[in-house]
Amino acid sequence: MTPPSEAEAGRTPVRPWFLYVLRCASGALYTGVSTDVARRYAAHQAGKGARYTRLNPPIAIAMVVEYPDRSAALKAEYAFKQLPAAAKRAFLAAHASPP
């Protein structure tokens, strides 16, 4: 006998969380977490995201990394934010997706 799926058991399916890094028009980087990066990016571009991105509009998504839960994504966000700016840019350059 197979165990019931999460939907059959009445639980909401677990959705992954994502760490994302945006490149802003000012040259700055913005880091956040979300379960839907495309929706969150659209909100940032529309001026409905964080105060920071209202003042520094995003121009591109630089990186997205999937995590199994919110806690892991928030820990990764904190660790990334602790890096010096040069280290963040070097990390992004090393992990850039080919065009």
Give tens-digit pLDDT for 59-79: 999 999 999 999 999 999 999
Whether pLDDT at 12 is above 80:
no
8 A C-beta contact, residue 56 and residue 24: yes
- Beta-bridged to residue 54, according to DSSP, are none
* CA pair distance 12, 3, nearest whole angstrom: 15
Q: Which of 24, 32, 29, 30 is nearest to 89 (CA)?
A: 29
Question: Does the predicted model carry a pTM greater than 0.85?
Answer: no
DSSP assigned state of 4: P
Whether pLDDT at 5 is above 60:
no
Structure tokens belonging to residue 86: 């040069």
